[in-house]
Amino acid sequence: MAATTAVAGNGPHSVSDGRLEELLAFDATKSGVKGLVDSGTTELPRIFIHSADDLPGPKDAAAPADLQVPIIDLSGLAHRREEVVGRVLEASSSWGFFQLVNHGVPQEIVEGSLQGNRRFHELDPSEKAKLYNREARMNVKYLSNNDLFVARAASWRDTLYCSFGASLNPQEIPSVCREATLTYYEHMVGLAELVFELLSEALGLSRDYLKRLNLSSTRTMTAHYYPACPQPELTMSISRHSDPICLTLLVENAFGGLQVRHKGYWVDVPPVPGAIVVNVGDLLQLISNDKFISVEHRVLASRRGPRLSVAMFFAPSTDEKTLYGPIEEILLDDEVPKYRGVLYADYIKCFSNRGTGKDSPLEQFTL
């Protein structure tokens, strides 16, 4: 806690204004945002109130109706692969986001992961508190706002994290969601392998090219729980950000709230039953020399809830010694690399130090 306190003391709010004490008090409850709701909170504590610049408002022009996140159908892939690859290229280069349907992951697996998420977050607070932790080394942990002590404002969500490394003992996963989580993980790994193949082909490379770059050896799950918010106009569920990884696969329930930045607009990503949302991460933009784009996205708070989502993040290991830079084979005759090579550990360090709500650090690695 001492290290966390030191970070908070150097953050955007001074210790003297009492904010740090409020953050520490909230964190000490180990009951998260849901605990606030269960206690009957009708007004947001000030640590959750975001500045007008970070909130939706009149400054955000309504997106034209024809701006819709692409939906890609994977049915009959063996006979339609060229068409599907073309759609993946178009979506990844113009949106950085798309939704997959008929992807081969059974609906009961998708729904099971969401309901497992709900069962955990609706456990008795004393049971959840046993897992409440902010230590990065923990394979499985529960907390509210991983950036609580460095963000400009807290966001309206609680999270169960699971890192699927070699050291993970499946018994560490809470029993109420263990089977659903492990089954979801297995299917997401299989789907990620297929998506990496399609992305490789979209770049004009062999199917296994991206796989050979060890872009997905680190696999992390976040199961977010967003309770109904009494004053959603004052806070966010997740502030704008891009993902500092390679690839994200996401499932969500029907409440919506996810938005992506496209052509200067915030565009809703409407939930499609059974669909899996795919988004390109920063590292894929870097190695593709901007042929794929990693875009900002956010989640709005709502009076309805709970919103549930379960995301799988795929990235290299921070121990990986490969310098990741633009892939030479995809550069055209007169095309120059836009980025210098970078160790993934260095990229993550830069991302972590940039400050919540700030722009992606990709520009720091441009040539």
Maximum Cα–Cα distance across the chain = 65
* pTM given for the model: 0.92
Q: Confidence band (pLDDT; 50, 70, 90) for 1?
A: very low
**Overall average pLDDT of the 111-124 stretch:** 97
DSSP string over 23-69: HHHHHHH--HHHHHHHTT--S--GGGPPPGGGS-STTSPPPPTT---
Q: What is the pLDDT of residues 61-117, one digit of tens each?
A: 888 889 999 999 999 999 999 999 999 999 999 999 999 999 999 999 999 999 999
Q: Which of 13-17, 274-278, 290-294 shows the lowest per-residue confidence on average (mean pLDDT)?
A: 13-17
**pLDDT value at position 10?**
37
Distances (CA, A) of 54 to 50, 58, 78, 103, 107: 6, 12, 44, 35, 35
**Overall average pLDDT of the 287-292 stretch:** 97
**pLDDT value at position 359?**
65
Q: Confidence band (pLDDT; 50, 70, 90) for 354?
A: low
**pLDDT value at position 166?**
85
Residue 282 has pLDDT above 80, yes or no: yes
**Overall average pLDDT of the 174-194 stretch:** 97
